[in-house]
Structure 1
């Protein structure tokens, strides 16, 4: 894979899970990392992991649903490293499981605020800088829930369909300006989010692996590192003709 030496990469929600694995992978490829999360201890731990491996990273707290936080995040990346070459908009929440008619308004609002509005605000700030810089790459974290429905998760499904729509539009609007925007759609991945959903769905009777392994044709859930590998590749020059792509990384889930 083409290396990222000297390039600056921003990863939101990188205090754990897919975001952390992605930050570590970019750092191993030589990038300067801007680690961001609403949870400070997790973000600082990711930075410490990168530093212990000999990489470069800084942490900046941000709530991606707040315009001021997002503006400060991108500005902080540029102030620290002089540029922003790649961004990964990963921050997101799953919310509560319930049939659509029983969903609480505040659950819907919270999910859309973080997953949809957060991605929107990040895209705006990142693209504005990349236009001035002459290009860049952005990978948005959607989900297989952005491709198909999941009973009980209407707000989450809506939010991830929104992410896919924004990805396609941003790609069409800014591809000729040298900004490549793509999205990945993870299936069941071994993360805190999947653990939360399994806890809600089975009242703790099954682990996320026990619940989800049989649903994937590959026979298992994935790892954050497997998603990170795809994200980093999409951000590299090896994926130079990828634009507006919506790529499942799901063990065959949506092929069924």
Structure 2
């Protein structure tokens, strides 16, 4: 029996891209997946597809930048499923893309609200639920952009850097109580976000050919692995999908030299 069977895993920003691929993989491995997105229609479409494939899924609307919306989502999970074993903080935006003085301040602040505050709000809401059952796992979608600046990505880089410190803060405050907090960098993945990046023409990432990007299924498999007991090895750490040992454990092919 898969280790995730019966586990309740909440995925934010789950309607497409890495979030959708992760939700499908979690369900394939037996988890009861809570598919969340700002659009309930989009979340329900994915949840229905998972259900049709024999998995278990619940669709709930959630705007991670709104405290009341996050709290309502978590209350909905508790009402329907009774517990939360893991949270995947996937919701994020790359906008605004542009040099600092050319960006819209409102868009810049919106990136902070979604990428950083959203992860905080979700973690803040689920931690008490997890503690009732003796622990849980929180995976924050990180990025190499958290550790090196890229032209035109001041908002994205700054929020991901803040998220990396938030991962460590959760580990410091709740690790001893059984909360596993992990930052996971999925690499450059073929998603709608990468389409926006290519269209911008700014910095080297925008120049990468689409055929060089990885399939969202790859990070989905790693995230599911990190949600299992094996993820405890990475508590409080930043993990990169290119790490050889991790890829071997998950069953992904080595990164080409």
Moved over 6 A (4+): none
Contact 1:188 1:222 in 2 (8 A): yes
Question: TM-score w.r.t. structure 2 length?
Answer: 0.89
Structure 2 residue 26 is the aligned partner of structure 1 residue 26: yes
Distance 2:61 2:231 in 1: 30
**Superposed displacement of residue 117, structure 1:** 0.6
- Give the match for residue 123 of structure 1: 123
Contact 1:188 1:221 in 2 (8 A): yes
What CA RMSD, in Å, does the superposition of the two structures yield over aligned residues? 2.1
Distance 2:175 2:243 in 1: 29
Structure 2 residue 192 is the aligned partner of structure 1 residue 192: yes
Among 229, 234, 245, which residue is 2:221 paired with? 229
**Superposed displacement of residue 155, structure 1:** 0.7
Contact 1:222 1:251 in 2 (8 A): no
Q: Secondary structure at the match of 2:201?
A: helix
Contact 2:97 2:152 in 1 (8 A): yes
Structure 2 residue 240 is the aligned partner of structure 1 residue 248: yes
Distance 1:240 1:118 in 2: 23
Structure 2 residue 230 is the aligned partner of structure 1 residue 238: yes
Q: 5+ residue gaps in structure 1? A: 203-207
Change (3 A) 1:251 1:234: closer
Contact 2:96 2:108 in 1 (8 A): no
**Superposed displacement of residue 49, structure 1:** 1.5
Distance 2:185 2:168 in 1: 14
Distance 1:239 1:103 in 2: 38
**Superposed displacement of residue 221, structure 1:** 1.4
Cα-to-partner distance string for 1:33-57 (whole Å, 9 max, x where unaligned): 1100013332122102211111111
How is 1:167-186 mapped onto 2 (pairs within 5 angstroms)?
167-186=167-186
**Superposed displacement of residue 149, structure 1:** 1.1
**Superposed displacement of residue 187, structure 1:** 2.3
Q: Secondary structure at the match of 1:92?
A: coil
- Give the match for residue 212 of structure 1: 208
**Superposed displacement of residue 213, structure 1:** 4.2
